[in-house]
Amino acid sequence: MISNKILLTSSGSYLPNNIYSNDALSEFIDTSDEWISKRSGIKNRHFVSKNETTSDLALYAALKAIENSTLDKDDINLIIVATTTPDNTFPSTATMVQKKLDIKGAAFDIQAVCAGFVFALSVAKSLMKDNNYKNCLVIGADSMSKLLDWKDRSTAVLFGDGAGAVILENKENIDNKLDDWGILSNVIHSDGEYYDLLKTNGGVSTDQKIGFIEMAGKEIFKHAVEKLSLSFQEALKLSYKNIKQIDWLIPHQANQRILLAVADRLKIDPVKVISTVMHHGNTSAASIPLALDYAINNNKVINGNLIGFQAIGGGLSWGASVVRYGKP
């Protein structure tokens, strides 16, 4: 019996045109470039314009991913959007993207905050194998500026807006030629004990407001380093790989200090860690596909590379993936 493999074959990304440097933020927040850079490594972030929605960001990233593939948009029959900042409470942002692309199939959102893209990859792989969806758009898109309290410099300086997308293709593994290609492993976890460490202070059923981000920064840092490292080691074990075989580690782009601490914990050369946090800050579910697309466009990630993804977000929710990018 011929099994199927889920290949990750293309990427695309989009960042809004409005760029805010640390110096620009210091004009209306009690902060400075030195303060932000030292604590996070962030230099710039992009914010949506007044009439720009999360589905707009997702659409632009999706169109680039399709353009960079060998597929037509009508070949896509599954869309999963990881987002915390939907256009509307309902329907899903994914169905709006589907409408704008004018294609048919299934479309829905996943909400795991900054870990959303890894969760979406896991769900997409399972659905494609069990229900025979042929080609899937997995999109991470967030307008985090909509959730920022500009009176709270500890969070307001960290986040930005953007979107990244990948295309997954369902291929028959004839003669086992695809055994070592595509999504090799996914690991996802959540622990509600830490619900209050990273959350908004409002919600539809709480007070009919979206709320602002609240974060216990020191606690999040500690959990991030531990849980990102352990989950990636778990993903490596499931894929029968070791850290020395990884060509590139693409973490959730939350904080440069976290990226370096995880690299040290995993004993991977920091040169192999893709970092884009300086350019766009924490874009939540968008940060991994944004960083992947950056790495591909800059000739770092190439066809056949073994890549690791890892992310942690509110919930707390976290996970990791090991993927052989491209196709033979």
Q: Of the residues 68, 114, 135, 170, which is catalytic?
A: 114
Contact 18, 46 (CB under 8 A): yes
234 backbone dihedrals φ, ψ, rounded to 5°: -65, -45
Q: How far is CA 56 from CA 3, 209, 328, in A?
A: 36, 22, 33
Question: 68, 170, 255, 282: which is the annotated catalytic residue?
Answer: 282
Tell me how many helices (H) and strands (E) the chain has.
11, 13
As beta bridge partners, residue 249 has 273, 308
Concatenated DSSP letters of 135-156: EEEEEEEEEGGGG--TT-HHHH
Residue 277's H or E segment, with its range, is helix 277-280
Strands (E) located in 201-305: 213-215, 248-251
With CA atoms as reference, report the closest residue to 144 among 119, 121, 162.
162
Distances (CA, A) of 76 to 72, 128, 165, 166: 8, 12, 13, 12
Which residues, 6 or more positions from 8, have their beta carbon under 8 angstroms from its beta carbon?
166, 167, 168, 182, 183, 323, 325, 326
Residue 188, beta-bridge partner list: 319
Indicate which residue of 252, 255, 279, 280 is catalytic: 252
CA torsion sign, 119 to 9 to 18 to 45? positive
Q: Is 282 a catalytic residue?
A: yes
Catalytic residues: 114, 252, 282
